[in-house]
Amino acid sequence: LYTAPDSCEGRCEEPYSEEDECHCHRECERYHSCCQDYHRHCQPDGFSSSRDAISDEELLHVSEQLYRLDHNKARPADIVLNPQYQASPGETGDQEDHSPQPLYKYVNEELFSKPTYASFIKLLDNYQRVTGRQEEVTAEELREQDNFLKEVMKTELMRKLFAFLHKKNRYGSEQEFLADLKEMWFGLYSRGSGEQDSSGFEHVFSGEVKKGKVSGFHNWIRFYLLEKQGVVNYYSHNFNGPWDTYPDVLGLQFSWDGFYKEVGSAFIGCSPEFEFGLYTLCFIARPGRACHLSLGGYSLSIQTYTWTKSTYGHGKKYIATAYVISP
């Protein structure tokens, strides 16, 4: 069950925010700002009673828990970055390569033999990056999706996320959660002219090319592997997060086979399950809005958007995108 920005489903007694299209707290009637379905959802015996709403404080708390549970993340010695040139806000659109060296000086590729990394990497070559081209999903690719989900659900991090969402009445069982993860992330929809050419996973983690520009592509593993092949060229960075360990956050400029990405924010050095879990949490708790989290005592926000042109199940929304908001 998802909270939508124009609905009170799962949002009763949620704190007031100017970002919200409509509101679900008790005062909304006085200010004539309630969502249309406020009365249907916000009765004491409904699903969306106040105990089911995910508060801002709970998001800060659970994100810190997930941060501490990222046992598969890179250690400081596993990655050596060479960020080089820092672009000003006015320079990010210049498409000039200010950094002659690659971004990654060194990555300990033993990380990639861990089950969640290995199963994640197998998914990356399953997509045609240009939107408007129908995706053909083979039986082997479906097995790879199932295997990735199976591996991430073995981790303490994803089990903690499920326990939190289960407590908040979003899912009745782990099987239901798994089935929904597969639909919201891997379900196909059309970004082009009717072809089933895209999915949340492809857009966020693998990357797409739309109208001559890089779209999505927010994953450090994908970036490193393509940079190593000489397919991705790092230009500059416009933001480097305050973390002195991993996961860190970087806002960066790069080209992919000649297609440009003006600002591609990404977690650096996190495990696949960390990124997958954090984006899932924010998509369910704050879809279409900034989702304010805390990682190691530092504030961080994630922006997600729902795909509005098609649905699955009983009106559930696919993930259109999810990414870290860099200042």
pTM, two decimals, is 0.85
One-letter identity of residue 10: G
CATH topology of domain 1-43: Factor Xa Inhibitor (4.10.410)
Check the CA dihedral 81-87-93-97 and report its sign. Answer: negative
The angle at the Cα of 306, spanning 303 to 312, to the nearest 5 degrees, equals 150
Q: Compute the distance between CA of residue 71 and CA of residue 128 in angstroms, rounded to an integer.
A: 32
Q: How many residues in total does the chain contain? A: 327
Whether the Cβ atoms of residue 267 and residue 247 lie closer than 8 Å to each other = yes
Q: Which residue has the tokens 């416009």?
A: 238
**Whether the predicted pLDDT of 232 surpasses 50:** yes
Instruction: Dig out the tokens for 103 from the structure.
Output: 């971004």
**pLDDT recorded at residue 50:** 59
Which among 308, 322, 301, 325 is positioned nearest to 203, based on CA atoms? 322
> Which of 5-9, 136-140, 234-238 reaches the highest mean pLDDT?
234-238
pLDDT at 46: 43
Q: Which of 291, 4, 59, 172 is nearest to 162 (CA)?
A: 172
Q: Is residue 43 scored above 70 in pLDDT? A: no
Half-sphere exposure of 102 (CA within 13 A, CB side): 16
Residue 209's alpha-carbon distances to 254, 262, 325, in angstroms, are 13, 13, 21
Give residue 315's identity as a one-letter amino acid code.
G
Digit-coded pLDDT (tens) for 149-207: 999 999 999 999 999 999 998 999 999 999 999 999 999 998 877 788 789 999 999 99
Predicted local distance difference test score (pLDDT) of residue 245: 93
What pLDDT score was predicted for residue 18?
80
pLDDT exceeds cutoff 50 at 263: yes
CA-CA distance, 315 to 48, in Å (whole number)?
Answer: 17
| Dihedrals phi, psi of 285, to nearest 5 degrees | -85, -35
| Contact assessment for residue 102 and residue 234, using Cβ atoms and an 8 Å cutoff | yes
Averaged pLDDT, 11-27 = 83
Domain coordinates in residue numbering, the chain: 1-43, 56-325
DSSP bridge partners of 249: 267
Question: Per-residue pLDDT averaged across 126-147, rounded?
Answer: 84
Distance CA 296, CA 309 (A): 37
Question: Which burial class, exposed, middle or buried, applies to 192 when counting CB atoms under 10 A from its CB (0-12, 13-18, 19+)?
Answer: middle
pLDDT at 42: 80
Is residue 134 very low, low, confident or very high in pLDDT (cuts 50, 70, 90)? Answer: confident
Q: Which of the residue ranges 13-22, 45-54, 165-174, 192-201 would you say has the lowest mean pLDDT?
A: 45-54
Q: Determine the average pLDDT of the residues in 102-121.
A: 98
Q: Phi and psi (nearest 5°) for 256?
A: -125, 105
Alpha-carbon dihedral sign for residues 74, 247, 100, 204:
positive
Q: Which of 270, 216, 261, 220 is nearest to 243 (CA)?
A: 270
Q: How confident is the model at residue 25 (pLDDT cuts 50, 70, 90)?
A: confident
Task: Measure the CA–CA gap between 302 and 283, rounded to whole angstroms.
Answer: 9
Catalytic residues: 203, 218, 261
Distance CA 196, CA 147 (A): 23
| pLDDT-based confidence at residue 279 (cuts at 50, 70, 90) | very high
What pLDDT is attached to residue 6? 82
* pLDDT score, position 179: 95
Average pLDDT over residues 108-115: 98
Of the candidates 275, 260, 235, the residue with the CA atom closest to the CA atom of residue 82: 235
The mean per-residue pLDDT over the stretch 41-69 comes to: 81
